[in-house]
Structure 1
Amino acid sequence: MNLISADNISIRFGDRLLLDNVSFGLEQGRKVALVGVNGCGKSTLLRILAGEEAPSSGEVAYKNDLNMAYLPQQPDLDPDATILEAAMDMDDPVMEVVSQYEQAVYRSAYDPKAVERLTDLASKMDSLNAWNYESKVKEILGRLGLHDLEQKVGELSGGQQKRVGLARALLQQPELLLLDEPTNHLDLDIIEWLEEYLSANQMSILMVTHDRYFLESVTNEIVEIDQAKLFQYNGNYSYFLEKKQERYENDQARSEKARNLMRKELEWIRRQPKARGTKAKYRIEAFEELKKDAARPASAGTVELDVSEKRLGGKIIELQHVSKSYGETVILRPFSYIFRKGEKIGIVGKNGSGKTTFLEILSGRLEPDSGVIDQGVNTHIGYFRQEEPNFKPGERVIDIVRAEAEVMKLSDGNEISASQMLQRFNFSPSQQYDIVDKLSGGEKRRLQLLLVLLLNPNFLILDEPTNDLDLITLQVLEDFLQGYKGCLIVVSHDRYFMNRMVDHLFIFEKGKDVEDFNGTYLQYRDQQDLQKFAEQESRKPELQKSKEKARGSSEKLSFKEKREMEQLEADMEILNSRKAELIESLNSGDLNHEQLREVAEEIEKNQEELDSKELRWLELSEKEG
């Protein structure tokens, strides 16, 4: 049965028709991605389905007592609430007591009254059978990097607030989860955890995302908005690409056939006497339909990237012992590097590790504390920043472009006007004279990309370029960058984009020197997995000692804890056995590259589960030790 049904929905935004009388239903257990070009109405449709907005026409129906959670691109949270309060729905008695218990645990380190409350709250947790939920709260908040649960929401960055909103949506344990760009501003390890969590969970999902690995792993259906209509594909991202190409080719064939028929019909129409009122009415009506088919584009407009690049000189940019700190916090330890023509470098590291600070220094927007930046005279930097440009309210799109350049020089030496540039970036003539406030977030990012490229840079810096860009624009951008002859520096949490674009990485980690890793992002992750496995193996003797020590104290555990400990030991034995099988398979030499990757991923998942159970086992074993 459908959890949610939209019947004959139309959406208008001013004079723009985003959806034209479409119907849509989401069945239980389906994991659906909503895709389409920027500005086609994806986020608007999601808000309508979430009950945040009303459609221009049509209606939305929900299953009785549907438990639904919605994560918008920018969650609306109380700035005075703590992280824990914002992440939990206090209307639920179980959530309320778990929240009170967690706050008491957190404050017990400095507040004697909180210690006194713990016994009473623990009793309430027992009566509500809330311990499993409390464990889930800790897991989700911890995995999302939210550790200081007493910190006020108003003190958080936009990315951190997005994580709080995501935690709130997941903790509701909904039947239906609506997500708008859930991976934006998340660290790569958090994205990978979320991908695994959503894939394994039985909840139904409808999400807007540009992350193609995420689409491939999580979804089993894709709904595309194209030319104000919905097209459904029962499969993941790979299947969608195949079927979309078939539909595109069929549309082209139908349009060409319609054009040929229209020529014949036009000849017939013109041959008829003008004063004659007995023309075959059905043929005239058919002719009008043919005109529509012949004029219909094969698919929604796409972006065309073609710009001239200024030639690089012998010296590009040389960094000599460049460093940066804020107070006592070291952001960038002394770093030296000589950039070479044509290299494509990816920058990876957790949020707050200094990636954006490095880009600001490299682009000349921020002065380093020490060191020298020597830029060649022929080096022209184009910087696509993570933050949206501060467009003036009420300014027209074409005026924004003309303020930067009246013409753009193409790679073949020809020049095109500002209006032609905008058309190549999929801004229709009518949109060009719209005020910038009317653009969607993705359209503003596309305009931002145009403003960077029209300066013809030969040293291109891209900070999170994939955020809010649609899949079609991303594919075109990737094709353009693969042929780009200048230097390219990319910060991105999009694994697909990073794997395709860069040939080596700068690894940023707090308190450490920047590491230059010679390989792709996938190779870097494989190396991390091997290091993690080696560390786990080295911990085995310590774990064994803890087990032996705990045997003497297990008498002091409660009956429930003893049973839990026995179950943990049985589970760890199964997981260790499976890990041994996977390692043997990995070392067999019989696997191809894709199989090696799959086995490595399973080893990582196996190890994460083993770590979790070992940690709980140690907690129990040392409880009274």
Structure 2
Amino acid sequence: MAHLLGAESLHLEYPTKVVFDSITLGIEEGDRIGIVGRNGDGKSSLLAMLAGRKEPDAGRVTMRAGTTVGVLDQADTLDDALTIAQSVVGDMPEYEWAGDARVRDVISGLLSDLDWNAPVAGLSGGQRRRVALAALLVKEWDIIALDEPTNHLDVEAITWLAGHLKKRWATNSGAFLVVTHDRWFLDEVCTETWEVHDRIVEPFEGGYAAYILQRVERDRMAAATEAKRQNLARKELAWLRRGAPARTSKPKFRIDAANELIEDVPEIRDKVSLQSLAVSRLGKDVVDLLDAGVRYGDRDILTDVEWRIAPGERTGILGVNGAGKSTLLSLIAGTIEPTSGRVKRGKTVQVRTLTQRIDELTPHWNDPVRTVISSLRTEYTFGTGSKAQALTPGQLLERLGFSSAQLSTPVKDLSGGQQRRLQLLLVLLDQPNVLILDEPTNDMDTDMLAAIEDLLDSWPGTLLVVSHDRYFLERVTDQQYAVMDGRLRHLPGGVDEYLRLRAAEQNAPTRSTGAAEATTPRLSGADLRAAQKEVSALERRIQKLTAQVEKAKHALVDHDQSDYEGLAEKMKQIGALEAEVEESELRWLELSEQLD
């Protein structure tokens, strides 16, 4: 592979900190590099030096003659005086850009829902991010440097970007570097991972899953000071290997060695104990949405939503911006009332929401962190039974990455990620039994996301999550729903099913004009009648099984909570029923696609 760019003995420091100390790196044709590390360790500075945006204090960056580098900044650099069209294609004549397949693909993938001639000034943060991406991607580059490209993007836009980067260049040509905390994205597009830490850049083969595998081995051999980080990484590795084994197929080193590291790691969540504790804290009634709808003026936001939220349920909610996700959460939290149907709440329900704003911190804006936590409860219990652990607020702060020196820092002077972590701590210490997380991953690095996931694993309550971070959503929830066309839809196939449904929804109007039909085979004759009959039987079966699951869960509240063996047996029965429901739903989905 041909050499594109080289960095030799780079040194960078600020008055109070050495960021990099004599690092040497190279970028070759075909490199697909993800850059990870803790906030503040220098990821963006490294990207800026390699792209020629920042001069190192020592060392040099060299490029092959004629090499072009395109950069997506983390900051918004769009000119508000321009339209979307001017921002993306400049003064290029329409016949020229419209005749370029790559330009058409970028515009279709990122901007199809926007008015091409609309001014940039009126766009939302997510829309501006898509315009900035499109403006970069329509041009030819040998190297693309992306600084947090998935910020403000929804699941569909992130999925499109991943697909575009994978097919943009031929094998062993072009290169990109990406700084991102989106672990699904890293795993999907990167073949090499650079970890920035302790003034160095350490390369690992493969995407995020492969990086975690190798880091566990590195940490296992490290000094005792790395023990906490090692245990957290091993737990995440256990989930990666058990929950999504295909993700670890890329690395070329032996998987057997990695499996030995996790053979004694238990399942990430003790579902039986957490379910039992959730029932004892909540009772059988949590929040029931009964044919609930919300209408603003002449517009229906939500229609006929039927959802009986169970104690201990962990659900992820998907949907495009403006679909009604926030309205749904507000119905559950009780901050708005339905305009049709009703919402029924259990008497013991205490709902708290981690919003995208930082409202919980406003009263403490000028206070040091130490003062804020001194007014909180003296301890908080995580886990259940023999694994229960009582932690003080100070210990929780340490677990969330705060150093003792930062306890004297005023809240207003904390970084965005630190403020977000403190906000989560304040919500958790209020001890709700229904927790709603609205885009909780903003401003978090990968290590801190893993720490928060670890914390949530032992949280005994009902958890509802809205997030565009696919990895986080799949990691902390057990099922997913989507808000589509104002209705709530269960997704037995998870995020992949949601993306298929959205693609079908967008392609539906073009079918009559000769667009390619879906590849799912259509049935006819006797096969069609048999499939229709099976679908009807499955619908009755799913309804019957779902009723049995609800009845069994409600019966838990009347069971002796000290009878752990009995509870375990009942939870095992519920798990078997739920597995049968899922299997039936998947079969129903498969047949329904053939009947469309």
TM-score, scaled relative to structure 1: 0.66
Distance 1:526 1:296, change over 3 A: closer
Determine whether 1:217 maps to 2:218. Answer: no
For the residues of structure 2 that align with 1:154 and 1:311, how far apart are their CA atoms?
A: 49
For the residues of structure 1 that align with 2:10 and 2:404, how far apart are their CA atoms?
A: 27
**What is aligned with 1:45?**
46
Determine whether 1:520 maps to 2:494. Answer: yes
Query: Within 5 Å, which residues of 2 pair with 1:274-289?
Result: none
Distance 1:383 1:56, change over 3 A: farther
Read off the aligned partner of 1:516 and give its amino acid letter.
Answer: H
Give the SS at the match of 2:92: helix
Distance 1:368 1:437, change over 3 A: same
Farther-moved stretch of structure 1 (392-401 vs 232-241)? 392-401
**What is aligned with 1:172?**
139
**What is aligned with 1:104?**
none
Farther-moved stretch of structure 1 (519-528 vs 197-206)? 519-528
Read off the aligned partner of 1:215 and give its amino acid letter.
Answer: L
Read off the aligned partner of 1:332 and give its amino acid letter.
Answer: L
Query: Within 5 Å, which residues of 2 pair with 1:18-167?
Result: 18-55=19-56, 58-88=59-89, 90=90, 96-98=91-93, 101=94, 122=95, 125=96, 132-133=99-100, 135-146=101-112, 147-167=114-134
Among 436, 443, 456, the residue aligned to 1:468: 443
Query: Within 5 Å, which residues of 2 pair with 1:587-606?
Result: none
For the residues of structure 2 that align with 1:501 and 1:237, how far apart are their CA atoms?
A: 17
> What is the CA-CA distance between 1:62 and the residue it aligns to?
4.0
Query: Within 5 Å, which residues of 2 pair with 1:281-300?
Result: none
For the residues of structure 1 that align with 2:365 and 2:459, how far apart are their CA atoms?
A: 35
8 A contact 1:505–1:521 mirrored in 2: yes
Q: Deviations over 1:303-349 (max 9, x none)?
A: 99999989223332233443333443322224243221011222111
> What is the CA-CA distance between 1:23 and the residue it aligns to?
2.9
> What is the CA-CA distance between 1:506 and the residue it aligns to?
2.7
For the residues of structure 2 that align with 1:407 and 1:87, how far apart are their CA atoms?
A: 55
Determine whether 1:376 maps to 2:350. Answer: no
**What is aligned with 1:244?**
215
**What is aligned with 1:328?**
298
Among 164, 183, 188, the residue aligned to 1:197: 164
Distance 1:437 1:313, change over 3 A: same
For the residues of structure 2 that align with 1:65 and 1:248, how far apart are their CA atoms?
A: 41
Segments of 5+ residues of structure 2 without an aligned counterpart are 236-267, 524-596
**What is aligned with 1:420?**
395
Read off the aligned partner of 1:348 and give its amino acid letter.
Answer: L
For the residues of structure 1 that align with 2:423 and 2:87, how far apart are their CA atoms?
A: 33
**What is aligned with 1:233?**
204
8 A contact 1:226–1:300 mirrored in 2: no
> What is the CA-CA distance between 1:470 and the residue it aligns to?
2.2
8 A contact 2:232–2:454 mirrored in 1: no
8 A contact 1:74–1:162 mirrored in 2: no
Determine whether 1:362 maps to 2:332. Answer: yes
Query: Within 5 Å, which residues of 2 pair with 1:520-559?
Result: 520-522=494-496, 543=514
For the residues of structure 2 that align with 1:231 and 1:379, how far apart are their CA atoms?
A: 47
Give the SS at the match of 2:222: helix
Give the SS at the match of 2:444: coil
- Structure showing greater radius of gyration is 1
For the residues of structure 1 that align with 2:150 and 2:47, how far apart are their CA atoms?
A: 16
Distance 1:434 1:50, change over 3 A: farther
Q: Deviations over 1:280-318 (max 9, x none)?
A: xxxxxxxxxxxxxxx787869979999998922333223
For the residues of structure 2 that align with 1:73 and 1:301, how far apart are their CA atoms?
A: 32
Distance 1:16 1:188, change over 3 A: same
Farther-moved stretch of structure 1 (340-349 vs 63-72)? 63-72
8 A contact 2:314–2:478 mirrored in 1: yes
Distance 1:399 1:176, change over 3 A: same
> What is the CA-CA distance between 1:175 and the residue it aligns to?
1.4
Read off the aligned partner of 2:431 and give its amino acid letter.
Answer: N
Q: Number of residues paired by the alignment?
A: 471
Distance 1:54 1:356, change over 3 A: farther
Read off the aligned partner of 1:245 and give its amino acid letter.
Answer: V
Farther-moved stretch of structure 1 (487-496 vs 150-159)? 487-496
For the residues of structure 2 that align with 1:493 and 1:15, how far apart are their CA atoms?
A: 36
For the residues of structure 2 that align with 1:410 and 1:198, how far apart are their CA atoms?
A: 44
8 A contact 2:382–2:390 mirrored in 1: no
Read off the aligned partner of 1:174 and give its amino acid letter.
Answer: W
Distance 1:173 1:367, change over 3 A: farther
**What is aligned with 2:563?**
none
Distance 1:220 1:517, change over 3 A: closer
Q: Deviations over 1:92-138 (max 9, x none)?
A: xxxx223xx3xxxxxxxxxxxxxxxxxxxx5xx4xxxx5543x4333
> What is the CA-CA distance between 1:163 and the residue it aligns to?
0.7
For the residues of structure 1 that align with 2:308 and 2:123, how far apart are their CA atoms?
A: 36
Give the SS at the match of 1:432: helix
Among 394, 404, 407, the residue aligned to 2:378: 407
Give the SS at the match of 2:193: strand
Give the SS at the match of 1:496: helix
> What is the CA-CA distance between 1:371 and the residue it aligns to?
4.7
Among 385, 401, 417, the residue aligned to 1:442: 417
Give the SS at the match of 1:466: coil
Distance 1:38 1:238, change over 3 A: same
8 A contact 2:382–2:459 mirrored in 1: no
For the residues of structure 2 that align with 1:145 and 1:199, how far apart are their CA atoms?
A: 19
> What is the CA-CA distance between 1:521 and the residue it aligns to?
3.3
Read off the aligned partner of 2:16 and give its amino acid letter.
Answer: D
For the residues of structure 1 that align with 2:421 and 2:311, how far apart are their CA atoms?
A: 26
Give the SS at the match of 2:194: strand
Query: Within 5 Å, which residues of 2 pair with 1:575-590?
Result: none
Distance 1:10 1:446, change over 3 A: farther
> What is the CA-CA distance between 1:192 and the residue it aligns to?
1.9
**What is aligned with 1:477?**
452
Q: Deviations over 1:162-186 (max 9, x none)?
A: 1111111112222111112222332
Read off the aligned partner of 1:465 and give its amino acid letter.
Answer: P
For the residues of structure 2 that align with 1:522 and 1:361, how far apart are their CA atoms?
A: 27
For the residues of structure 1 that align with 2:228 and 2:392, how far apart are their CA atoms?
A: 26
> What is the CA-CA distance between 1:73 and the residue it aligns to?
2.8
For the residues of structure 2 that align with 1:442 and 1:15, how far apart are their CA atoms?
A: 21
Distance 1:137 1:528, change over 3 A: closer
Distance 1:149 1:406, change over 3 A: same
Read off the aligned partner of 1:36 and give its amino acid letter.
Answer: G
